[in-house]
Structure 1
């Protein structure tokens, strides 16, 4: 690869390159466990008793050639010469020679077997075994290192990416920074919040040492990592505060300026102030430390974001749209198709917000190119990740099953299919009937079939690449593609697709520019990782502070004012729906699931709501919350990937009230009706 391929900015060397190595290490550590399992099985098949050969056999110290009569005579003599008053008192001074002989014979036989086993193992310990064992033990050590370093990888990844998001102004807020006042207010409050995070972490460290002087070196190192990370984050926000960009507009509206403050900052200020008022200044640090208990889950979120950003670098989304383009579908129908097709990759990218970040720009641009009005395209983009969260192998469902023993992934995914069908029907009905502005004049089948088949043909290599990776893991590592293996398989699949595209387009690239021929793959991975770094920083920091907000709700005993059970299951469900939608409006999905598992779920169970039913309602309610003002997280993420200009242009369009607010109203109608059906119709059948 030419040197040009390694020309990176200082920010890329500082953030995206280390982040790429950290994410690859997570994949490596998780895959090494599969490799190790196969090596153990292979070793046992090649050398019977391989498990005993993993360590050098120790030669027994006993003598197998001792004479039985001599040993028995010695034991009798020892017994006669011993002066044990207790044995005499109990009548045990005499030893039965026959019994003693039997015992000695058994002992010598056992000694001979141990020597035979030692000799046998020594004979099997060939050069091949030693070489195989060396590799297998190295992988075992690698797994142990991965397990020990998992929490450190998460802390470093979160803080590294959070600093990057701050430096690149990429945090998630209600609106973008447009004026100098927006910028100054945002970064000033970010600095205050970061100082709170730093102070809370320092106090938590001191409290840990005060409560228990035997804090392990690992715990100490984790505390130091958090402190160093928040110190760097504070410096980054201070740097940004005093380096005001020149392209910002002068002046500004104070009310709008506060809407430009990142959501994580708002959550930090609320939770930090609350914990300080109750004399628990270390509260934020404690709840952020709880992320370590689920470090594998949060790392999987990072991997899913990376997968999404790599998907964005491929031609896959465009090629899928090309399949439907020949039919000249009206924009409303194409929007339905886009949302339904997006459900599958959404399930494989962990959560709706991640998919919006990954593919939202492509979906929006394709719908606009097909003639969709801006509001319809924005609504479909925001909803593109909402329908697939109930499908296998969505990470959010796995987390629910992990935190709640009352449900299993099979139960949740089984009923999730029916919830998906319902939400798909509701969205289709709303999109195709309410405010439909186009007829259904599809292209004739005779005209559209041939181009569709050509477009499908271009997807065949991608299907083969995906199948090759899945089959390799299945045959070589005995790993099937499911909700547990998806986080480590998907990055490999996306890398394989990028490699395929690099070589498949090699001739085209060479004609256009010989240099690109050597840099396409590297540039694609680098660009994906650049996007990933900023998105992980914005998303995981928001997620961590959502856990802190959950701590505020938990410690304020708000849920204590709610009865722990209801006589009427209908009243309980109505309250659950209201609470869950509100949580979806103000919290990230994973933080909300943790809070609901600890508080609301037990009330639902005690009121007679079936656990599987409750969690299906929870997932739909969360998605409705993510689409509901005032926060509407999925709309914020849509604006982030589509661009502020497009959203402002949509807001300036004229028409009826519905037409002017279609991007908000249409998803609310579809998901609102779905939530009512999912929440209350099943109660008729089991109450």
Structure 2
């Protein structure tokens, strides 16, 4: 390694190492709970009654050799005489000696049993038990610390990554900064928005301290973290404003410059201005504070992004696509296969936008390598996470069932399979029929099948690594792979895969074959974390401000302007579709679900729309919203991960109107038709 490489590595780790440690701590804290449960079971199996040995036994202070006769005589001496008029007036009667003796005998027996138990526990407290107990109690304390530290970890992670995204110009916007005017307008408004966030946090902190309710030390520390974080973010944007890069073009147009403003900045300016006008300056700070109530969910988002960036460092996706290459599929069919295969990991990430950030670059590069045109590859990448959000064990569906007693996860996932089939068929039909530019000339089965099976062989070690980690958690920690355990299992699986590649591809022969240029474990983890840091900063800050936009909609009572019930379920459904698609354009999935539960859902139920039907429509409408201009969040995330150059190259390609905008139109047709079918066809069976 040269001196320059060493310095660059040191600078990269300086920015990403704290984020890596924070993400690893989340995995550690969540896994320590599983370890602790197994330690308690193991302790009980090794030493019966271990739960009593977790603390040092306390010697009873009663006398096990107490004289029963003397105690009875003493109690009888305390009893009032039979002719005591005052005792008769108070209703105190003479005690029965037999009852007194029975009570004292019971008390002596209990005291003797307590002393016997104390001696027995003392005998069981061997050095081995004490050593095991010390380890078990350490893990218990670690869990307690981890649970209390979740909110602080989230704040530090959001602020650290947001500052990184600001310094590296990585925030999500409608278009990138190309001219000096774009840069000036963008960073000026970012500075204003960040100062607004700082001011709101300070006002929220002061109002909390001035309230009649006492503020705990933990809450005060959380307030201080927000204030410090937004101070650093404001300084970072101000620094960038006065230190523009030298490669920017001169000139520019003001209208286009506003499109280069990050979406979080726009949301902050809108919500901050609204809250200031109604005299509620702490509004943004309050709604950002609500993120802490779902700290584990937002931390899981960060873990999923990290997993996707580590996947990008492996050869796993290339090997999977190698299985399909012998069939010589036309690019349109391969795009359909890629979207269908992506549905499974999307179900574990819980939101399409998260999956696009996590794996979009891999899908795009593999489709392009297989011969797909840019527009088709961009369309498939944007849609790669749109089909799996209705499949088990999607966390978004679990949140819906948790917030709405009218539905259960089994019901939603049961109907979600049919919605998945419908959307998959629609996308396949659109991709294979509209603007298909390749001939359907698949390779003969006799030729393709053996080659495809041969391509499966390199995947077997990866399958063994994945199965090994899953079985380790299953039998060692009694943890099954589901929507709750996936955030902590998937990072471990990806680290294990990177370790396997580091060992298996370390030899010179593996590199000389030209099969892959493996960078080694440290470089792979560092590269993945560098990408993760900027992506988390851009995404989590956007999610947090979308919660604030939800607060604006809630406090403005906008939804109350609509009828609270419709006479026709058809009219209600038409309105629901429009509202839900618009919400999908401007809010993240989890924040939108919370808002819809509190507002739109009750209108739908009162209008005769079945709850399961309504939430299936909601999920499909959200996905259409994420693909619809003018925002088209999934397309923005696609551009974020594949690079501005690829999108610009696609925009410069000629052809018909459809060919020039295929990346936008194709997903809209597929999801739009799916939404209409999901929304209105079921009404034919129960709303007539």
SS at match of 1:439: coil
C-alpha separation in 2, matches of 1:123 and 1:148: 36
* Alignment correspondent of 2:162: 162
Deviation for aligned residue 1:445: 1.2
- Does the aligned pair in 2 maintain the 1:297–1:399 contact within 8 Å? no
C-alpha separation in 2, matches of 1:660 and 1:301: 34
User: Given the superposition, is the C-alpha separation of residues 85 and 46 from structure 1 closer, same or farther in structure 2, using an over 3 Å criterion?
Assistant: farther
* Alignment correspondent of 2:664: 664
Equivalent runs, 1:618-629 vs 2, <5 Å: 618-629=618-629
* Alignment correspondent of 1:571: 571
C-alpha separation in 2, matches of 1:579 and 1:685: 24
Deviation for aligned residue 1:564: 1.7
C-alpha separation in 2, matches of 1:398 and 1:299: 17
Q: Does residue 1:435 correspond to 2:435, yes or no?
A: yes
> What are the ranges of 5 or more consecutive residues in structure 2 without an aligned counterpart?
none
- Does the aligned pair in 2 maintain the 1:509–1:517 contact within 8 Å? no
Instruction: List per-residue Cα deviations over 1:120-165 (Å, max 9, x = no partner).
Output: 1111111111111111111100000001111000000000000000
* Alignment correspondent of 1:484: 484
- Does the aligned pair in 1 maintain the 2:422–2:674 contact within 8 Å? yes
* Alignment correspondent of 1:612: 612
C-alpha separation in 2, matches of 1:520 and 1:132: 38
- Does the aligned pair in 1 maintain the 2:80–2:87 contact within 8 Å? no
C-alpha separation in 1, matches of 2:205 and 2:81: 64
C-alpha separation in 2, matches of 1:536 and 1:424: 29
* Alignment correspondent of 2:291: 291
- Does the aligned pair in 1 maintain the 2:346–2:385 contact within 8 Å? yes
Equivalent runs, 1:510-521 vs 2, <5 Å: 520-521=520-521
Equivalent runs, 1:243-258 vs 2, <5 Å: 243-258=243-258
* Alignment correspondent of 1:381: 381
Q: Does residue 1:531 correspond to 2:531, yes or no?
A: yes
C-alpha separation in 1, matches of 2:517 and 2:170: 31
C-alpha separation in 2, matches of 1:468 and 1:4: 39
User: Given the superposition, is the C-alpha separation of residues 81 and 228 from structure 1 closer, same or farther in structure 2, using an over 3 Å criterion?
Assistant: farther
The more displaced of 259-268 and 398-407 is 398-407
C-alpha separation in 2, matches of 1:241 and 1:404: 46
- Does the aligned pair in 1 maintain the 2:621–2:675 contact within 8 Å? yes
SS at match of 2:681: helix
Q: Does residue 1:501 correspond to 2:501, yes or no?
A: yes
C-alpha separation in 1, matches of 2:82 and 2:167: 83
Instruction: List per-residue Cα deviations over 1:270-299 (Å, max 9, x = no partner).
Output: 000111111111100000000011111111
> What are the ranges of 5 or more consecutive residues in structure 1 without an aligned counterpart?
none
C-alpha separation in 1, matches of 2:306 and 2:131: 36
TM-score between the two structures when normalised by the length of structure 2: 0.96
- Does the aligned pair in 2 maintain the 1:393–1:486 contact within 8 Å? no
- Does the aligned pair in 1 maintain the 2:82–2:94 contact within 8 Å? no
User: Given the superposition, is the C-alpha separation of residues 86 and 129 from structure 1 closer, same or farther in structure 2, using an over 3 Å criterion?
Assistant: farther
The more displaced of 521-530 and 9-18 is 9-18
C-alpha separation in 1, matches of 2:130 and 2:124: 10
User: Given the superposition, is the C-alpha separation of residues 244 and 107 from structure 1 closer, same or farther in structure 2, using an over 3 Å criterion?
Assistant: same
User: Given the superposition, is the C-alpha separation of residues 84 and 408 from structure 1 closer, same or farther in structure 2, using an over 3 Å criterion?
Assistant: farther
User: Given the superposition, is the C-alpha separation of residues 8 and 99 from structure 1 closer, same or farther in structure 2, using an over 3 Å criterion?
Assistant: farther
* Alignment correspondent of 1:655: 655
SS at match of 2:520: helix
TM-score between the two structures when normalised by the length of structure 1: 0.96
SS at match of 1:261: coil
SS at match of 2:540: helix
Deviation for aligned residue 1:572: 1.4
The more displaced of 342-351 and 398-407 is 398-407
Instruction: List per-residue Cα deviations over 1:294-313 (Å, max 9, x = no partner).
Output: 11111111111111111111
Deviation for aligned residue 1:87: 3.7
* Alignment correspondent of 1:103: 103
C-alpha separation in 1, matches of 2:405 and 2:4: 53
User: Given the superposition, is the C-alpha separation of residues 459 and 82 from structure 1 closer, same or farther in structure 2, using an over 3 Å criterion?
Assistant: farther
C-alpha separation in 1, matches of 2:651 and 2:83: 103
SS at match of 1:170: coil
User: Given the superposition, is the C-alpha separation of residues 144 and 356 from structure 1 closer, same or farther in structure 2, using an over 3 Å criterion?
Assistant: same
Count residues with an aligned counterpart: 685
Equivalent runs, 1:257-276 vs 2, <5 Å: 257-276=257-276
* Alignment correspondent of 1:582: 582
* Alignment correspondent of 1:467: 467
User: Given the superposition, is the C-alpha separation of residues 31 and 6 from structure 1 closer, same or farther in structure 2, using an over 3 Å criterion?
Assistant: farther
- Does the aligned pair in 1 maintain the 2:33–2:143 contact within 8 Å? yes
C-alpha separation in 2, matches of 1:84 and 1:489: 77
* Alignment correspondent of 1:557: 557
Equivalent runs, 1:359-438 vs 2, <5 Å: 359-438=359-438
Deviation for aligned residue 1:644: 1.7
C-alpha separation in 1, matches of 2:87 and 2:663: 92
C-alpha separation in 2, matches of 1:445 and 1:518: 33
User: Given the superposition, is the C-alpha separation of residues 173 and 69 from structure 1 closer, same or farther in structure 2, using an over 3 Å criterion?
Assistant: same
* Alignment correspondent of 1:39: 39
- Does the aligned pair in 2 maintain the 1:313–1:524 contact within 8 Å? yes
